[in-house]
Amino acid sequence: MSDILITVLVFIIVILITVIVVRKRAANRRKSEEKTAQSRPQDPFAAEQNTGGDPETIKAGDLLEFGNEKFFVRGTLRISEGGYNWAEHFFQADQSATRLWLTVENDPDLQVSRWRDRPDLDIEPKSKTITIEDTEYELVEHGTASYKAEGTTGLNETGGVDYVDYESGNGKLLAFERFDHGRWEVSTGESIPVGSFTIYSGS
């Protein structure tokens, strides 16, 4: 009886040792494969690669790359209205370049729009349709929100903004913003695909 018990115990011990060895080898194999995959040259534009970055994490100091164009994010406005939040990021190639904005919002899907300041347009949002450069824009929405400023924006740290948004039949955008009861600022823009630009974190 004792011989049978010893044989069973030895058999169990052998099985346990075998299981431990097999698991250890499998773990080592996985680590080796992961290390090889990390060191293997990869196509940065492959479908499984997320080179663009997350637009919802953009902040002052980041670098945005649109094709061959590179811009530094100088400041951000975090805007809120009735529980709905979005961000406007101010960026330039250099201090003398035209001021550009990137709007990032969930409505309900992630949407990104690129804007250009239009100080040459001396108009106000007083009608339901506005025609600019042979393009007719129709009123989409308007409202009043609060903002918090980060980095360089030319605005107070906190304040209020009135906005009026228009859109044309071919998807062009027109926006009016008035910060802290100041004058109306005009921008024209367009929606862009999320993966159409690359974000390089500044920190």
178 and 109 in a common domain? yes
Does 40 score more than 70 pLDDT? Answer: no
Per-residue pLDDT of 73-109, as tens digits, reads: 999 999 999 999 999 999 988 877 778 999 999 878 8
Does 145 score more than 70 pLDDT? Answer: yes
CB contact set of 198 (below 8 Å; sequence gap of 6+) = 51, 52, 53, 64, 65
144 and 116 in a common domain? yes
Domain that holds residue 168: 55-200
194 falls in which pLDDT band (50, 70, 90)? confident
For 166, the 3-state DSSP assignment is strand
Report the first-to-last Cα separation within the chain, whole angstroms. 71
Instruction: Assess if residue 98 is contained within a domain.
Output: yes
The fraction of the chain above a pLDDT of 90, given in percent, is: 64
For residue 31, what pLDDT is reported? 66
Instruction: Assess if residue 105 is contained within a domain.
Output: yes
69 and 112 in a common domain? yes
Number of domains in the chain: 2
78 and 28 in a common domain? no
131 and 83 in a common domain? yes
Report which residue type is found at 192.
I
134 and 66 in a common domain? yes
44 falls in which pLDDT band (50, 70, 90)? very low
79 and 140 in a common domain? yes
103 and 176 in a common domain? yes
* Residue whose entry in the numeric block shows the structure tokens 């906005």: 163
Q: Distance (Å, rounded) from C-alpha 132 to C-alpha 121?
A: 9
For residue 12, what pLDDT is reported? 77
The lowest-confidence range among 15-24, 77-86, 114-123, 166-175 is 15-24
Phi, psi of 199 (to 5 degrees): -110, 125
For 186, the 3-state DSSP assignment is strand
136 and 107 in a common domain? yes
29 and 66 in a common domain? no
Does 47 score more than 60 pLDDT? Answer: no
Phi-psi region of 168 (alpha: psi -120 to 50; beta: other; left: phi over 0): beta
Per-residue pLDDT of 178-187, as tens digits, reads: 999 999 999 9
Instruction: Assess if residue 1 is contained within a domain.
Output: yes
In whole angstroms, how far apart are CA 177 and each of 49, 144, 203?
37, 10, 30
Does 37 score more than 60 pLDDT? Answer: no
For residue 36, what pLDDT is reported? 56
79 and 16 in a common domain? no
Instruction: Assess if residue 100 is contained within a domain.
Output: yes
Instruction: Assess if residue 24 is contained within a domain.
Output: yes
